[in-house]
Amino acid sequence: MHVLFVNYSFDRRFHAGVAALSSFIKREGHTSSLITYDAKMSEDDFKERIRTAKPDVVAFTVMTYQWNPVKHLLPLVKEVTDVPIVCGGYHPTLYPEDVISHPDVDVVCQGEGEDPLLDFLKAWESKGDIYRIQNLLVKERKAANVATIHRNPIRRLRENLDEYPFWDREVFDYDSMLKQRGAGTLSHTRFTMAVGAGRGCPDQCTYCSAPALNRFYRAKGKFIRKRSPEHVVAEMKELVERYPIKFFEFWDERIDIFPSWLFKFCELYGREIGLPWSADMRVERATKDILSAMAKAGCYMVWFGVENGNEEYRKKYLKRYMSNQQILDAFKNCRDVGIETLSLNMLGLPYESPEQARETIELNRQMRPDTVLFFTYQAFPGTELGELAVREGFAPMESVYWYERPETCLVQDSMSKDEMQRLWQEWRELQMELEAERRARGSIVFEIDAD
């Protein structure tokens, strides 16, 4: 069976979910191809790509901000082929009824999709029962505009991630992506390879889907898992042999969830590979002993979610309980061991005042991160803070869900759109100031990622 994956992308980035699914079904003898739909692709080009692929199944990966544009692509698929359309990802997992109700969607996959997709392919190929596969909502079309939805229970998780094959990068043409800044990574360095060491996050941040996913998988097995350090390093060694890699970038929600795992990984990676790498972690875990082990193993940058500079606001609305002093200490500890830092922040949060937003800017001035990123808060469905914003009437009914423009902010009395524009400019000024400092003192990124 041939699966055609479709990734609606604003920036043509690599997609870990597609890479994981593709490698899994290929191991079982199936084939795959990919269409990355972006602003450069016309609808006619999209339909021609589908004709050329001749798929047996078309599979869309959908995050909430992608759902509205994806809805417009679904009828185009049906104009070309009558094969099943499967939708999976965060939005179908948390809002399955919203997706299965679309007239052109045949199957919704909730949760981790490797085994459900494989079971569906086996049943579809053998003309078996496709309606009783765990994790799937399957539409049985009985007549024109008449259908029965078969809703199946969620299966237990595979707890040993070493059972999964390495991600499929070939389906993305990663050779080309490595040469483009930001094409396959969150950072904008070239020759950077995205990798993942685990799945799941224990944190209860109100703006994130992780708590909802934890609830979704309750009593279904261990949700927070890491591959063994040996399995991760084996993949990275294979990638170094295959691609001209200069950096690795971990896409785990947190690299530091299990400190014993991290120490073992650092020892093994430092001995066998040693290329520069970056990862996300909590400021509470940024101790000198952990950071020293990471630096010795080649870690050149750590990403920290700061989000808001007001301690009381963070505790009350974000469920982030670290103090400002812990934040400052984490950035200092990184400097002391020679690791660069990246600070992640949000602007326009529910009930946030301009004064509180400027506290975030001022905290970042004190932290002096090597890189600072800031985003307009988006009220995503399925998140505690997003549901609050909807209840309060702050979130537009037809939100474009885009976080890189100030005008996509919430509509609330505490912060006007004009104030958002002013704050956005203040953030830009700080961003340029810090970038100039980074360039002046030099950076491993500038040294290795040179033209």
Q: How far apart are CA 320 and CA 203, in angstroms?
A: 9
Q: What is the DSSP string of 204-223?
A: --TTSSHHHHHHHTTTSS--
Say whether domain 2-151 belongs to CATH 3.30.230.10.
no
Q: What is the pLDDT of residue 246?
A: 94
Task: Give the total residue count for the chain.
Answer: 451
Name the token pair of 38: 């972006």
3-state secondary structure of 357: helix
Share of the chain above pLDDT 90, in %: 85
3-state secondary structure of 280: strand
Average pLDDT, the chain: 94
How remote is the C-alpha of 97 from its chain's centroid? 22
Torsion of CA 390, 393, 397, 403, to 10 degrees: -70
Q: What is the pLDDT of residue 146?
A: 81
Q: What is the pLDDT of residue 10?
A: 72
Q: What is the pLDDT of residue 397?
A: 62
3-state secondary structure of 183: coil
Which residue stretches of the chain have pLDDT < 50?
A: none
Convert the pLDDT of each residue in 205-254 to its tens digit.
999 999 999 999 999 999 999 999 999 999 999 999 999 999 999 999 99
Name the token pair of 211: 């708590």
**Which residue has 């400190």 as its token pair?**
259
State the amino acid at position 157 in one-letter form.
L
- 173-448 homologous superfamily: Aldolase class I (3.20.20.70)
Q: What are phi and psi of 59, to 5 degrees?
A: -120, 120
Could you state, in order of their start, the residue ranges of all structural domains in the chain? 2-151, 173-448
Convert the pLDDT of each residue in 110-119 to its tens digit.
999 999 999 9
Q: How far apart are CA 14 and CA 7, in angstroms?
A: 9
Beta-carbon contacts of 351 under 8 Å, excluding residues fewer than 6 positions away, are 313, 317, 412, 414
Q: What is the pLDDT of residue 190?
A: 87
